[in-house]
Amino acid sequence: MLRPAIPENESQRLKALQDANILYTPTQEEFDNITQLASFICKTPVSLISLVGEHEQWFKSKYGTDLCTSDRDISFCSHAILNPEELMEVQDTRLDKRFEDNPFVLSENDPVLYYAGMPLKDVNKMALGTLCVIDTKPNKLDQDQRKALKSLAKQVEILLELNRKNDYLENVKKELNDHNAMLKDFAGVVSHDMKMPLANMIITADILKAKFGEKLGEEGLSYLKNLKQAGLRLSGYINGILDHYESDSIAASNNEEFDVNHLLEEIIDLLNITEDCIINLPEENIIISSNRAALEQIFLNLLGNSLKYNDKPKIKIDIEFSQTPDFYYFSVKDNGIGIPKEKEDDIFKLFTIVAKSDRSGNKGNGIGLSTVKRLVSNLGGNLKMKSEVGKGTRFNFSIRRKL
């Protein structure tokens, strides 16, 4: 028996096998289907997907045997990977000097007298192992069988690469989730810590104006006004960040039954509208079962934007509702300033601002629509927008109904 040689690129090959993250993983049906098919096509009792490690070979999939591993020194596949582009076929192992006294060949029970293995390579052409078929008697593949075994080996390579990419994406997803969690915690802590000092700053500005307004004069009062407005803007920004990062927990709250129109009327009261404004609610009072807190947050943002970003003497907002067995559908249409085409793709991204200022001259923070998008997505729905500059915007969104 001749021990298999060590490939010249052995260190790189072992690194590639490690990066594939497939060794000693649980069985998978897609791999088992291939070994079963290989055995059927080649008319052999045994088929294996073998991965050659540093000291042993391990079978990712096996058909016709209970064997899980074997020493690399007596492995047939360790010889096959020395020529990664060629199918190695040994028609009678007893007549081959490499295997004539191999323990598998000399075995009294089910000796390995025939072997055919096609090396399995990664995207960098590193041989990881083989797809092989084994028989207990001498054998020979015909041309169609050889072609089929090579094709099946290619399918194994595709599966190995898909597994590697899926593992990579899962790791990236985990890292992103960890970073997002850290960012969420940081934003929450910083925002909460800033709220009280800001409130004190705003109150102090009012006190200074009340007590010393006459002494400060117009210029001093102007400074106080700017100070208070800056504090209010920053406070709104902080509240927006907190709402954005709390949207996941809001969307996870329990469903309840409620009247859609009653919810909308409460939201309109919260907005404390002082402008000349008409808001048309859905014609019928409909009772739905959904996440009331999340829907309230969505409408607060959408209606708030329709009110703020409107340059018409009379603001008009139309709210529509419909439903199917699977979804609730809502629409909010206004006659506001509209959104330019070049900004439509970015409007739902965090901190994206469309207008320089709103109806009152204040600058937005670009958080509201991102929060709406996040909430709608968490509720199993979709959010779409149609807008025309100078004429208005329509937001359509859906929420999946809970069965």
Task: Write out pLDDT tens, residues 2-19.
Answer: 899 999 999 999 999 999
pLDDT for the residue 267: 85
Instruction: Read off the pLDDT of each residue in 305-314 and give the average, rounded to a whole number.
Output: 88
Task: Write out pLDDT tens, residues 223-246.
Answer: 888 777 777 666 665 665 566 555
CATH of domain 10-167: 3.30.450.40
pLDDT for the residue 201: 75
Task: Write out pLDDT tens, residues 258-309.
Answer: 999 998 998 888 787 877 899 999 988 889 988 888 888 889 889 988 988 8
- If you average pLDDT over every residue of the chain, what do you get? 86
pTM: 0.53
pLDDT for the residue 41: 97
Considering only residues 144 and 401, tell me which one the structure prediction assigns the higher pLDDT. Answer: 144
pLDDT for the residue 186: 62
- How many CB atoms lie under 10 A from the CB of residue 162? 11
pLDDT for the residue 252: 57
Considering only residues 120 and 217, tell me which one the structure prediction assigns the higher pLDDT. Answer: 120
Parts of the chain belonging to CATH 3.30.565.10: 252-403
252-403 topology per CATH = Heat Shock Protein 90 (3.30.565)
Task: Write out pLDDT tens, residues 131-171.
Answer: 999 999 999 999 999 999 999 999 999 999 999 998 888 88
pLDDT for the residue 401: 86
In the block, tokens 């809970």 appear at: 402
Kind of pairing between the strands at 277-280 and 315-323: parallel
pLDDT for the residue 197: 72
Considering only residues 213 and 86, tell me which one the structure prediction assigns the higher pLDDT. Answer: 86
pLDDT for the residue 359: 63
Residue 93 has pLDDT above 90, yes or no: yes
Task: Write out pLDDT tens, residues 174-228.
Answer: 887 777 676 666 666 666 666 667 777 778 888 888 888 777 788 888 888 877 7
pLDDT for the residue 382: 92
CB 394 within 8 A of CB 333: yes
pLDDT for the residue 242: 60
